[in-house]
Every structure is written in C-alpha cells, then in structure tokens.
Structure 1
C-alpha cells in the first residue's frame, strides 16, 4: 500500500511538472497552497459581504413574504458573461468538481466568520435523478462537500428529493420560473428533520423560485428553521 501511495504521489508530481495546475479564473499558475482558484482572484471577484448582515441582505430580503428564511449567504455577485458565471459553468457543465468543492470551502469560511455552529445539516438543492444521471453529479452537493469540510456539518442529500423533472430555468421569466418549480420537491423523512436548523445550498440564486419551492417543503415540518447559502447571487 505504501508503494502504491508513493507511486501515485510521484506520478502526480510528474504530471504537475509538465502540466502545472492553473487558476480556473485567470489561467495563471497556482501556488502550492492554492486549489483550482488563486487567492488573487478570490480577492478580485465581486464579493457580496452578505455575511456582515446575514439576517438582512439581498438573499434574505428576496425571500420575505415568500417563505421563512433565517439567514442568507452568497459569496459573489453574478453577472452574465463575467468570471463568476464562467466559474459556475466550469463546475456545472464541464464537470470541474474540484472547483465546486473549493468554492464551497470559500463560502464556508465566510459563514464561519458570521455564524459558527449555527446549523445542524446541509441540504443541497436536489437534482431530478434523470438529470443527475446525465450530468453525473449534483453541483449543489459538490459545493456542500466543500462547506462540510469547513463547517464540520453533515451533508443530508437523501431526505429532500425532486419528484418532477423540469425544463431549464435559464431563459424563463420570474413567473415562468415559479410555475416551473412549484410542487417539484418532497421530503422523504420529515421526522428526522424536526427541530433542526437547515442550511439549504445551491450554486446561484437569481429569482429564488427554486429555493422558495424547496424551503416551503422544509418549513412545513415541525420546528424546522431554514437558512440559505449560494456561491453567487444575481446582481441587482
């Protein structure tokens, strides 16, 4: 086993010698302590700083009157054609799961600064099984894996599921998005979730329709509180 591990490390080092890892955002070489995205880009990307006002920011306010949300977090602002969109596309459509995990870690660090030890479980917005088979993974679950490493909170990807396969939300208006996702989620084990504070996680929030549909299922359970965390939030 030690020989196998040594060979893997040697091959990895050799690969990095000829194909050094580069930042997914700017394309520059990464330093030894950097993974998938360089610290310079993390500092330069459009941060929201919602963690400074977790109970009253664009994410939490977006949900007022629609569903009960305790806190809202988003790492970056999202604008079409800019680098944050490119990073999320790299995760979602090009299968860069390592980048998804690293973005989850970065999100976890800011949540830890604002509200350490506040949540009981991480709930990734589920994909329909058909879409998950096609893509091979759920990007929200990948982000949760990064969050879990920093927050030391378990990921619960089994108790909430998507029961209806829907078309893409990308080109739909706000009302169409809401119609597209209404009643598409269900809870498999409500008893297990009672009296917990759940952090629901997705890659990006635009109109909030998908999150709203999921949160309304969860807050119908006795004693459940819900907060929201996303890598990006659409800029106003």
Structure 2
C-alpha cells in the first residue's frame, strides 16, 4: 500500500473509529496523538523546575536530601493527568510515557537542566508485576527524558527484591515501613559518584522514592534528584 492510499485509508478509519483525546474524549485532530492541543495547553503543570521552594519538597524534609524534586504536572482526581496515566499503565500505551518524558525534557532543557544529571534511573516494578503489565511506565518516562536531555538511562540501576500489596489506603508512616529495604542497587559502577535522576510516575507520600533513595545515597552517588510525571498535592 503506497503512502497516499495508506493516508486515505487511515482517514477513512478515523471517521468510523475516531481516535479520542485522553483528556476530553473529543476526536483528535490530524497530527495529534493521545492528547489534543487544547488539553496539552491545559495540562496542570507545576513548574517546579523553575521554583526554588515548593510544596512537593516538603514530602522529603528530614528524610532524603534530594537536590531537585521535579514534578511535571499536578495529579487531580478525574483530571487530564489521571486519564493519561491510566491509559499509560493499563491500556498498553507505552508511547504515552515516552511522550510525557519528551515534553518534560524540553521544559527542563529550557529551565537550565541540560547538563544537570549523569544517569537516569527508573523506579523498578517487581518482576512479576512487570511481566503482567509488559513494561515499566517509569522506564518509558525515562526514555523520553533521556532522548531530550541526552542523559543515559540505567534501566536496571535499581532492582526490587520483593513485592508488596497496594499501598493506596495506607498512611505515610506505614507506606515507608512497608517499602523499607525492598530496593537494591544493581549497576554500582554506572551510578557511584554520579548525579542521578530517579524517575517515577506519581508522587503521593513519597515513600517509594525514599526507599529507592536509601541504597543510592549509600553508594554514594554524587547527588540525587527525582522527577515524576504527576504529583498529588
């Protein structure tokens, strides 16, 4: 099928089965993927990369000395980011994570973070959970960031040594106790004395990131920062 016929065929299919925006459910205009231009413009960005002090830093006060706490957008119930992240995690849309990483990577690039990190490390899933899902959404985000920032991803920099049940209904203290000691550094030579950017999908209490930070800081790494796709206030 030549390119012109393929284009007509795709246009015909879109009339019958239109691709809908994840944010508003309206049909996507030609050239857009996953999110329409209006929802992209209305993403509730936090701009933490441009702020000296912000509320997300408070989640780690007295726990982890992160150099930077970078949050792309606010996670709002039934908001754009919740719909986008749900599609990323449960609808086999890995490209969404890469897309968000590219978008945030450009923001960080313009914000002066072009040479801020030596390695990007995604928060790992337990192997059994990743086998079920087929991929790690944090790794997808890391790939997008890496593409723009030209910083290598150390995919297996951390490994998860045990699986824990959902923490959705647990308080901050219990979450921290649950995840304590469940992560280990795998690729020491690539992370020791490096400026590491730890990445995840959603920041809630921060307990998982605290647990990941402990073995990385023990290497030690030169500096440790964190970047997430969305954060809960």
Quickly say closer, same or farther: Cα 1:8–1:161, change in 2 above 3 A.
farther
| 1:205–1:233 contact (8 Å) kept in structure 2 | yes
CA shift at 1:15, angstroms? 2.8
TM-score of the pair, normalised by structure 2: 0.90
Whether the aligned pair in 1 keeps the contact of 2:196 and 2:221 (CA below 8 Å) is: no
Equivalent of residue 193 in structure 2, options 170, 192, 195? 195
Structure 2 unaligned regions, length at least 5? none
Q: CA deviation at 1:10?
A: 5.4
Contact preservation (8 Å) 1:74, 1:107: no
Q: Are 1:78 and 2:79 an aligned pair?
A: no
Matching residue of 1:27:
25
SS at match of 1:69: coil
Count how many residue pairs are aligned between Structure 1 and Structure 2: 229
For structure 1, the 5+ residue unaligned runs are 1-5
Look up the match of 1:3.
none
Q: 1:148 is matched with which residue: 139, 146, 149? A: 146
Question: 1:199-210 counterparts in 2 under 5 A?
Answer: 199-210=197-208
Whole-Å separation in 1 of the counterparts to 2:180 and 2:99: 31
Change (3 A) 1:13 1:188: farther
Moved more, 12-21 or 75-84: 12-21
For the aligned residues, what is the CA RMSD? 2.0
CA–CA distance in structure 1, aligned partners of residues 12 and 54 of structure 2: 45
Instruction: Provide Cα deviations, 1:62-110, integer angstroms capped at 9, x if missing partner.
Output: 2121012001111111122322212111111222212221111111121
Q: Deviations over 1:194-215 (max 9, x none)?
A: 2111111101100000000001
1:18 maps onto 2:16 in alignment: no
Structure 2 CA distance for partners of 1:57 and 1:18, relative to 1, 3 Å: same
Contact 1:121–1:153, Cα closer than 8 Å, also in 2? yes
TM-score, normalised by the number of residues in structure 1: 0.89
Match of residue 217 from structure 2? 219
